[in-house]
Structure 1
Amino acid sequence: MTPELIAVLAVIAVAMFFDYTNGFHDAANAIATSISTRALTPRVALAMAAVGNFIGAHLGGNVAKTVGDGLVELPAGLASLGVVFAGVLGAICWNLLTWYFGIPSSSSHALFGGLVGATLCAIPFGVGGTVLWDGILLKVVLPMIASPLVGFSLGALMMLAVMWIFRRGNPAKLNRGFRWAQTVSAMAMSIGHGMQDAAKTMGIVVLALFAGGYQDSKTHIPEWVFWTSATVLALGTYAGGWRIIRTLGRKIIDLGPPEGFAAETVASIVLFTTSRLGLPISTTHTITSAIMGVGATKKLSAVRWGVAGNIVTAWILTFPAAAAIAAICYFVVRPLF
Structure 2
Amino acid sequence: MAAVFNFLGVFVMTSINATVAQTIANMVDFGNDPKLSIIALCAALFAIVLWATAAWYFGIPTSESHALIAGISGAAIALQGGFGAINGSEWIKVIYGLFLSTILGFGFGFAVSKITTTICKNKLRQKTGPFFQKGQVLGGAAMAFMHGAQDGQKFMGIFMLGIFLGQGNSDTTQFIIPLWLMILCSFVMALGTSIGGYKIIKTVGMNMVKLEGYQGFSADVGAAACLLLSSIWGLPVSTTHTKTTAIMGVGAAKRLSSVNWITVKEMVWAWVLTFPGCGLVGYLMALIFMNIF
Q: Give the structure-2-normalised TM-score.
A: 0.93
Residue 98 (str. 1) matches residue 98 (str. 2): no
CA distance in 1 between partners of 2:81 and 2:219 (Å): 46
Aligned counterpart, 1:207: 161
Which of 207, 216, 226 in structure 1 is aligned with 2:182? 226
Query: Aligned-pair distance for 1:93?
Result: 1.0
Aligned counterpart, 1:50: 3
What's the secondary structure of 1:105's corresponding residue?
coil
CA contact (8 A) 1:75 1:129 kept: no
Query: Aligned-pair distance for 1:150?
Result: 1.0
Q: 287-296 vs 174-183, which deviates more?
A: 174-183
CA distance in 2 between partners of 1:129 and 1:213 (Å): 22
CA contact (8 A) 1:144 1:282 kept: yes
Which of 48, 69, 77 in structure 2 is aligned with 1:120? 77
Residue 317 (str. 1) matches residue 270 (str. 2): no
CA distance in 2 between partners of 1:184 and 1:170 (Å): 22
Residue 130 (str. 1) matches residue 85 (str. 2): yes
Shift in CA distance, 206/129, structure 1 to aligned 2, threshold 3 Å: farther
Residue 326 (str. 1) matches residue 282 (str. 2): yes
Aligned counterpart, 1:238: 194
Aligned counterpart, 1:110: 67
Query: Aligned-pair distance for 1:331?
Result: 2.0
Query: Aligned-pair distance for 1:134?
Result: 2.7
Post-superposition CA distance 1:297-331 (Å, at most 9, x none): 11111000010011111111111111111112112
What's the secondary structure of 1:330's corresponding residue?
helix
Aligned counterpart, 2:128: 174
Q: 193-202 vs 215-224, which deviates more?
A: 215-224
CA distance in 1 between partners of 2:170 and 2:89 (Å): 24
What's the secondary structure of 1:73's corresponding residue?
coil
Residue 263 (str. 1) matches residue 219 (str. 2): yes
What's the secondary structure of 1:74's corresponding residue?
coil
Residue 250 (str. 1) matches residue 203 (str. 2): no
Instruction: Report matched runs for 1:131-146 at 5 Å.
Output: 131-137=86-92, 139-146=93-100
CA distance in 2 between partners of 1:172 and 1:334 (Å): 63
Which of 101, 105, 109 in structure 2 is aligned with 1:151? 105
Identity %: 36
Q: Paired residues, what number?
A: 286
Post-superposition CA distance 1:122-167 (Å, at most 9, x none): 1239xx9721123212x11121122111111111111110000010
Q: Give the structure-1-normalised TM-score.
A: 0.81
Aligned counterpart, 1:284: 240
Unaligned regions of 5+ residues in structure 1, if any?
1-47
Unaligned regions of 5+ residues in structure 2, if any?
none
Shift in CA distance, 90/141, structure 1 to aligned 2, threshold 3 Å: same
CA distance in 2 between partners of 1:55 and 1:214 (Å): 32
Shift in CA distance, 175/97, structure 1 to aligned 2, threshold 3 Å: same
What's the secondary structure of 1:245's corresponding residue?
helix
Query: Aligned-pair distance for 1:217?
Result: 6.1
CA contact (8 A) 2:110 2:246 kept: yes
Two-structure CA RMSD over aligned residues (Å): 1.7
Query: Aligned-pair distance for 1:336?
Result: 5.0
Aligned counterpart, 1:38: none
Query: Aligned-pair distance for 1:214?
Result: 7.5
- The one-letter code of the counterpart of 2:269 is T
CA distance in 1 between partners of 2:170 and 2:69 (Å): 23
